[in-house]
Amino acid sequence: MTVGKVGSCRNVSLDSAKSFIAPKTHHFTLKAGVTLQPSCARFYGDNASLFIAVARVGTHSARATPLTPLAGPVNPNARPWTFAPVSTGVAMTAKSRFAFFVVAVPADETAPTPPPDAPSGTFKLLAPMSYDGTSFAQTGTCSNNVQDAPAYTAPSDGALQLSANVSAAPTCAPDGGDDAGRQLYLVAVQTESSGSQDGARTRRPREDGGGIPAIAIAGPVNAADSAWSFAPDAPGLTMQAGMSYAFFIAEMRPAAPATPEPPQS
């Protein structure tokens, strides 16, 4: 991300930002922090907090467009501005337009931060789980390959709501030493389904050495516990009709360091 050139710091509209057209239907999240050079700082006020937010363009009136915070908070006087991811992201529909902004939240208003127990980010996959629309079950294997988890295709739009804890045998513990204090989650990885002459095809992301983006829907549990019982997390997963999801027991990876913005010429 970079700070766009605008004609005025006072009059900023949805049309002021260069819109991003979603190439596919997916769930957009920030994998790392974002560092920007300050812009229009004198208009924010010393007591405000800054966030990076996204809005869908063309579906609401200018006054009623909802903004979803993605990263922050940052003090306007900071040099540079370093925004850390703060939310589970936003659902994007293929070919829809989105605009990104730096927004200010006055000190006397509630900052748009998510619940502290609603992590999303990069996870190390440990054990695939199957889901039949009602309950979860272990597959009996230890794997970080998304291909090894049975895909669940959402029949309709809506939240995946867990009515009870999800229990699992303490297998497939994370590598790298003592399990004490290491936190595990039940997570969802969105895959991509597309029609073909042979029916539905599912293309799945691959985990690299640093993990894979996922959304926690239950947990955490301590990896050293004798039994794992994942309590439902909030806000959880909002599913989209026709999209496929893979579920895993996973360990959350530390956030990647912010990527500095290249100097402007």
Q: What is the pLDDT of residues 206-255, one digit of tens each?
A: 555 557 888 889 989 999 888 999 999 877 788 888 888 999 999 987 65
Percent of the chain residues past pLDDT 70, beyond the cut: 68
> Quick one: tokens of 24?
């596919």
Task: Name the pTM for this structure.
Answer: 0.54
3-state secondary structure of 231: coil
Q: What are phi and psi of 31, to 5 degrees?
A: -85, -20
Residue 112 Cα distances to 36, 83, 193, 232, angstroms: 20, 13, 32, 22
pLDDT at 165: 94
Q: Is 257 within 8 Å of 237 (Cβ atoms)?
A: no
At position 151, the amino acid (one-letter code) is A
Peptide bond into 235 cis (omega under 30): yes
Could you identify the residue written with the tokens 């909802």?
66
pLDDT in tens, 114-155: 444 445 567 889 999 999 999 999 999 999 888 899 999 999
Nearest to 82 by CA among 258, 254, 255: 258
Nearest to 68 by CA among 204, 210, 238: 238
Mean pLDDT rounded to a whole number for the chain:
76
Domain ranges for the chain = 14-112, 120-252
